[in-house]
């Protein structure tokens, strides 16, 4: 996820997909929880892809 954050900084956007899997999404949720403070300090926001599409359509 930190690598994805660096891509977002470089390109202005990045899309990551979290898979639910057998453990009910626990691994994805834990990964997001652990890196969220770091990415947030870098100015990275988590948004839905549908919101990204709306933003791109306005420009």
**What distance in Å separates the CA atoms of residue 1 and residue 36, rounded to the nearest whole number?**
9
Rg over CA atoms, the chain: 13
Convert the pLDDT of each residue in 2-59 to its tens digit: 999 999 999 999 998 877 777 767 888 888 899 999 999 999 999 988 998 998 888 7
Give the 3-state secondary structure of residue 13: coil
pTM flag (> 0.85): no
CA 52-58-59 angle, 5° bins: 95
Helices within the chain (DSSP H only)? 2-11, 26-41, 49-58
């Amino acid at each position: 996820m930190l690598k994805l954050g660096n891509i977002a900084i470089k390109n202005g956007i990045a899309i990551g997909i979290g898979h639910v899997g057998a453990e009910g999404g626990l691994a994805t949720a834990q990964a997001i929880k652990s890196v969220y403070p770091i990415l947030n300090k870098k100015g990275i926001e988590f948004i839905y892809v549908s919101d990204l599409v709306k933003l791109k359509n306005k420009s």
